[in-house]
Amino acid sequence: MQIVQQQQCFGGRQIRYRHDSQSLNCSMQFSVFLPPQAEQGPVPALYWLSGLTCTDDNFSTKAGAQRMAAMLGLALIIPDTSPRGEGVADDPQGAYDLGLGAGFYVNATETPWNKHYRMYDYVLNELPALVERELPLNGKRAISGHSMGGHGALVLALRNPARFVSVSAFAPISHPTDCPWGQKAFTAYLGEDQSAWAEYDASLLLAAKGCSLPMLVDQGEADNFLAEQLRPEALQAAADVDGAELTLRLQPGYDHSYYFIASFIEEHLRFHARHLAG
């Protein structure tokens, strides 16, 4: 882990690291906020997964999460959204919803994507092992994310409930097998076999396997992507069948932007802090 930049922030430290990823076969950057409590001993961590076109920098600079994370004693672990660098495949037309910045938190099986696009393994295994070895973290984890990252957070938590204590999301892509963003990405990364797609669809996973974790989802009602791409009603329907502990809140007037995230991030951090302290 090489420090790229570091700033003091609310008594803690905001740090950007670079490292060589074995999962992704490239150099990766990620950001960490360590609260002031980390100077006295290990602290729990919230993993944040960002959305399409984003990097680790978007949440760090736009969400305003550090003040509350410092008060609650939470570390923030913020990976990039996809592999990057020379030789990493990208959409030949330069589309924003496939390739660089659009890893969709899956393990790609199709050429040429399978050489680098294994964000599921990276977030689940490689990155936690790295930061918990090198930083003052106590091994307790929660996970959250926005849009494509909300999809990733839900899928990782639903498939690995023993690894996290809670999960939340802002405007997640809740039913990617039935929306244009998900269908495009899954066809490219996973191929035509839709049984493979189901392993990365939060609504299908929740309906099939249930969930023992507390879940909090906020969705803006003025979100331009709500009807076509996000499909929160599918997630709610799956939770209703299973009796899962899902709190889905529709927020009037809010859109898909980081203004929406900044408005409710304190509530999400407090939600996770309660469960991380349990």
The single residue of 147, 168, 174, 203 carrying the catalytic annotation is: 147
The answer to whether 72 touches 35, Cβ cutoff 8 Å, is yes
Q: How many Cα atoms sit within 13 Å of 226 on the Cβ side?
A: 16
Catalytic site includes residue 257: no
User: Given strand 137-145, what is the order of strands in its sheet?
Assistant: 2-9, 12-21, 26-34, 75-79, 43-49, 137-145, 167-170, 215-220, 246-251
Catalytic site includes residue 240: no
Q: Do the bridges between strand 75-79 and strand 43-49 make them parallel or antiparallel, or are there none, so unpaired?
A: parallel
Catalytic site includes residue 223: yes
CB under 8 Å to 206, separation ≥6 — which residues? Answer: 154, 158, 235, 238, 239, 242, 244, 246
The single residue of 203, 223, 268, 272 carrying the catalytic annotation is: 223
Calpha distance 84→87 (Å, rounded): 8
The single residue of 116, 256, 268, 272 carrying the catalytic annotation is: 256
Task: List active site positions.
Answer: 147, 223, 256
